[in-house]
Amino acid sequence: MTLKPATEPAENATNQATSTVYGPVRSWRVGNSLGVDLLFTTSICSFQCVYCQLGKILDHTAERKVYVSTEKVMEDLRASAWQEADIITLSGNGEPTLALNLPEVIRELKAATGKPVMVLTNATTLWDPQVRAELAEADQVFCKLDASNDATLQRVNRPVAGVTIRSIVEGIKALRAEYPGYLAVQMMFMPMNRSDLAEMAEILNEIRPDEVQLNTPRRPVPREWFMESRGNHEGVPYPAVQLKTVDRDEALDIEAQIRELTGLKVVSIYRKDETKA
């Protein structure tokens, strides 16, 4: 049975995108990525990260439901330039695992395109065995982890009530144990969480992902929700703030330390600049 959305997309004069599918946009990690937005109606997430490119999270929630129908996603896909994509990425206007039709969409996208599908998640729902089973449909899962303790989690990611660093880490570990695909952990470093590095390396040693991806918030953060930020946008039509980042030397130092402390494969946004990948 096809799941139906509980609500219709909100009217918003400044966010007039009509498609749940966008791009392809160039991603430094995966090449040409076609974005699919299962939230779409507004910005919906169980986090409210200080660096979030969507600007404001208007629905700060951990509720799972159907936000946009699978039929609409597939219709939007057919109208897109999906043939130009290397991979299809489920991310969009918030946390994709909050969408109850996630597994149905993954299956239909793969059947229609033959392309690999990747899910970008903040890992707050991975404590739930049902979500982990649904993610098994994806070829790659990238999990966000920006903190090693609850104080940093509250400062950087500002989760909904009940989410703790242990619930996140145990969820990622459980996914690691069950998931047959490629699992990466993404870390956003900034002065705010720089001192967590050694403890984050310990957590990485608990998880043992296939890859660690290091980033720093280089794009300005809009003060309002901006739907088109779900793509790879440089400019935003709102006042925006630039957060403090780690500079190249610090990023290379973080990369070297994580590699030394974990022995894991580590990739960095700063290396991408060097290779022009």
Q: Rule CB under 6 A: is residue 131 a binding residue for ligand SF4?
A: no
Binding flags for ligand SF4, 211-250, as an x/- string (CB under 6 A): ----------------------------------------
- 45 lies in the site for ligand SF4, by CB under 6 A: yes
* Residue whose C-alpha is closest to residue 67's, from 34, 90, 33, 50: 90
- Rounded to the nearest 5°, which phi and psi values hold at 199? -70, -30
Q: Is 48 in the site for ligand SF4 (CB under 6 A)?
A: yes
Angstrom distance (rounded) from CA 8 to CA 193: 38
Q: Are strands 31-36 and 44-45 parallel, antiparallel or unpaired?
A: unpaired
- The residue (of 122 and 262) whose beta carbon lies closer to ligand SF4 is 122
Q: How do beta strands 31-36 and 240-241 pair?
A: unpaired
**Residue whose CB is less far from ligand SF4, 49 or 201:** 49
Least distance (Å) between residue 123 CB and ligand SF4: 9
Is residue 66 close enough to count as binding ligand SF4 by CB under 6 A? Answer: no
Determine if 156 is a binding residue for ligand SF4 (CB under 6 A).
no
Give the one residue of 36, 54, 68, 254 binding ligand SF4; rule: CB under 6 A.
Answer: 54
C-alpha to C-alpha distance for 119 and 102, rounded to whole angstroms: 10
Kindly give the residue spans of alpha helices, DSSP state H, lying in 49-101.
70-78
Residue 57 within binding range of ligand SF4, rule CB under 6 A: yes
- Residue 176: count of CB within 10 angstroms of its CB: 19
Residue 100 is classified by DSSP as T
Measured from the CB of residue 124, what is the shortest distance to ligand SF4 in angstroms?
A: 8
Residue listed under structure tokens 């993610």: 135
Considering the complex, what minimum distance in angstroms separates the CB of residue 136 from ligand SF4? 21
* Tokens, residue 217: 């918030």
213-244 burial code (b ≥16 CB/10 A, e <16): bbbbbebbbbebbbbbbbbbeeebeeebeebe
Interface residue with ligand SF4, options 22, 40, 47, 179 (CB under 6 A): 47
Residue of 52, 58, 135, 200 interacting with ligand SF4 (CB under 6 A) = 52
Residue from 20, 42, 80, 122 touching ligand SF4 (CB under 6 A): that is 122
Q: Judged by CB, which is closer to ligand SF4: 74, or 189?
A: 189
> In the 8-state DSSP scheme, what is residue 157?
T
**Whole-angstrom distance, CA of residue 98 vs CA of residue 116:** 21
What is the x/- site pattern for ligand SF4, positions 77-106, by CB under 6 A?
Answer: -----------------xx-----------
> What tokens were used for 184?
């990466």
One residue of 21, 49, 66, 77 binding ligand SF4 per CB under 6 A:
49
Which residues lie near ligand SF4 (CB under 6 A)? Answer: 45, 47-49, 52, 54, 57, 94-95, 122, 144
